[in-house]
Amino acid sequence: MRRRAHTTEAAALELGVTRNELRAWCGDLEQPDRRHHAALLGYLRVDERQLRGLVLRSQMRHAQARIRG
């Protein structure tokens, strides 16, 4: 979002989600479901493999946080 100088609202609008959904994704509170992957690929300018890596890293951070506490 910084590279594009987007606010949370602008990014959420482009991705077709609510501001709260986007915040949950950014905060590793929720994972985007498959129906949002195409929009994320375009917005992030990554391919499917890179997106899977980002999602996996997010899941690992979430799991580590749950283990710690």
Residue 34: DSSP 8-state: G
In contact, 46 and 53? CB cutoff 8 Å: no
**Cα dist. 55→4, 5, 28 in Å?**
21, 23, 9
Q: Which residues of the chain have pLDDT under 50?
A: none
What pLDDT score does 11 carry? 95
Tell me the one-letter amino acid at 62: H
R_g of the chain computed on alpha carbons: 12
Share of the chain above pLDDT 90, in %: 48
* The predicted structure's pLDDT at residue 26: 87
Average pLDDT, the chain: 89
Question: Residue 27 — left, alpha, or beta (φ > 0 → left; ψ -120 to 50 → alpha)?
Answer: alpha
Domain boundaries, the chain: 8-68
The pLDDT value given to residue 9: 94
